[in-house]
Amino acid sequence: MYCAILFTLTTALFCSGCTASKQEVKSEKSEGIAVTYPVNRKDAWEISKKVLYWEDCDDITESQYLGYMLTEISSSFFIADGCVVGVWVDSLSADSTKVTVLSKRKKKTQMGKSFTENDFHTSFVVAADYLKNGQEIPVDRP
């Protein structure tokens, strides 16, 4: 009986963790992983959106003026509750752009994230190669 009560309390505590929000992610840009790409800001923006859509994200909240986009990625089969993702696009020159990505678990108690910063940057390179080769970026993940 004692074990059943302890298990129930532990499970309830584990499942009630705080959730990450878009506003929280928006304020934590400095925690993201930044990579500089040899593309202009306009292309970096479009590539970033395409990469997020490849992940079946929810609607993207975006502000090109302020240079960020925020979204949520749905859960995967093994990782409950998915993640909240922030992307910042900062022009360094006419043909160089820094893209910063932060992905946070929706619930602090999750074992992992359904989409990581490295996943984003890997997909960004794939999408950028399409543009570099004069092709349109596909709607669905290649």
Judge whether 68 and 132 are in contact, CB under 8 Å.
no
Q: Give the domain ranges of the chain.
A: 18-132
Q: What count of residues does the chain have?
A: 142
Res 58: pLDDT: 76
Q: How far apart are alpha carbons 17 and 107 in whole angstroms?
A: 6
Closest CA to 61 of 25, 34, 99, 9: 25
> Coil, helix or strand for 137?
coil
- Pairwise CA distance, residues 13 & 128, whole Å: 43
Whether the predicted pLDDT of 138 surpasses 70: yes
Query: With contact defined as beta carbons under 8 Å apart, do 105 and 83 qualify?
Result: yes
pLDDT score recorded for residue 9 = 34
Question: What are the residue ranges of helices labelled H in the chain?
Answer: 2-15, 22-26, 41-54, 117-132
Residues 9-23 have pLDDT tens digits of 333 334 434 456 666
pTM over 0.95: no
Q: What is the CATH number of domain 18-132?
A: 3.30.310.80
Task: Using CB atoms within 10 Å of the CB of residue 19, give its burial: 0 to 12 exposed, 13 to 18 middle, 19+ buried.
Answer: middle
Going by the DSSP 8-state scheme, the letter that residue 57 receives in this structure is B
Of residues 137 and 4, the one with the higher pLDDT is: 137
User: Strand, helix or coil at 97?
Assistant: strand
